[in-house]
Structure 1
Amino acid sequence: MSRGLIARETAISMAINSALNYGFSLLAFGGKAEVPVWGVGGLLFDLVPTCFMISLMGSVVPSLIKRRHLSPTPSTRFILLRGLLLALLAVLVLVPTVALLLRGTETLSLAAVLWLKLPLGAVLACCVTLWSLRGLLHREVSHA
């Protein structure tokens, strides 16, 4: 697996996850002028599944697509478990961090929510996809 392939897969992951993040953000908050930060239905509540799914899909999908090109082929179980651990880690790190950054803020405009969620999701997709694919590449090289 080459660096160019990893860069392309990472860009695709970022684009797909950003589009999904945008769509689900509009579904969740599109009819509101102001979005609550706290509580059920608020931004932080929404960040839990957002961070979890972006991390899980950004890790698992590219890894499963590329696994057949590797020798030795990593198991599906390994890829899924690693994806779940990354997703849990992302939620445990990012949601409290955003909560600290937004303490004292009760509501945000929809535009502010999108300016927060879209770059956060794109960076998260970039990080987990790069980390996952580089990990598979390192596994392949170390077993060669």
Structure 2
Amino acid sequence: MAARRADLRRFLRVEMAVGATINGAITAGIAWLVFSGVDPVPVWGLGGLVFDLLPSTVLPVLAMGLLLPVVLRKRRASGRLPACGWSDLTGWSHLVPRGVVTRAVALALVWFTLLAPVAAALLWGGGWNDAPLSVVLLGKALYGALVGASVTPAILLPALCGINER
């Protein structure tokens, strides 16, 4: 049991690092496409940084929530995944929506609700009204990495531990 949990933790750490790296790079790249030519970048208002928190939180979580279970299904068929069971989800398994699409949508809404207000509050508290593009790109990369790393276990554990994947 302890070895199984150690394998699962090791697997999740690696996947969280991969999710953080990929999502951070994609988020920064999209921010560069959206905000290039605008320097400084407005923080508030339609088309500003805070407004951009909606797509830069929801879209990656939806994409990861829909794609990772498919990838896991293929990896599970090859036998290259750590063992996991419902006992590994004790304490929160009743909160996990069944079905990949329902779970992805729920996670996107939860992650947006948790992360976007904190990011907006930090920008407001820091007195930011606009920001240099270089700071925006670094901030978006870090925000994307946080989103990718933090949502990965919430996506992978239910898929690994046998929650219905319809």
The answer for the alignment partner of 1:74 in structure 2 is none
Structure 2 gaps, min length 5: 78-97
* Cα distance in 1 between the residues matched to 2:128 and 2:17: 33
2:78 matches 1:57: no
How much does 1:12 deviate?
3.4
Question: In the alignment, is the contact (CA less than 8 A) between 1:62 and 1:133 conserved in 2?
Answer: yes
Question: In the alignment, is the contact (CA less than 8 A) between 2:24 and 2:143 conserved in 1?
Answer: no
The answer for the alignment partner of 1:107 in structure 2 is 130
Question: In the alignment, is the contact (CA less than 8 A) between 1:51 and 1:91 conserved in 2?
Answer: yes
1:45 to 44, 51, 62: 51
2:144 to 83, 98, 121: 121
The answer for the alignment partner of 1:95 in structure 2 is 116
Q: Which runs of 4+ in 1 moved over 6 A?
A: none
Question: In the alignment, is the contact (CA less than 8 A) between 1:13 and 1:126 conserved in 2?
Answer: yes
Q: Secondary structure at the match of 2:55?
A: helix
The answer for the alignment partner of 2:107 in structure 1 is 86
How much does 1:60 deviate?
2.3
Q: Deviations over 1:102-142 (max 9, x none)?
A: 113210111111222111111211111122212323337xx
> Alignment identity in percent?
33
Higher helix share: 1
Q: Count matched residues.
A: 135
Question: In the alignment, is the contact (CA less than 8 A) between 2:28 and 2:138 conserved in 1?
Answer: no
The answer for the alignment partner of 1:31 in structure 2 is 37
Which has more radius of gyration? 2
TM-score using structure 2 length: 0.70
The answer for the alignment partner of 1:14 in structure 2 is 20
TM-score using structure 1 length: 0.80
How much does 1:62 deviate?
1.2
How much does 1:7 deviate?
4.2
Question: In the alignment, is the contact (CA less than 8 A) between 2:28 and 2:144 conserved in 1?
Answer: no
Question: In the alignment, is the contact (CA less than 8 A) between 1:63 and 1:79 conserved in 2?
Answer: yes
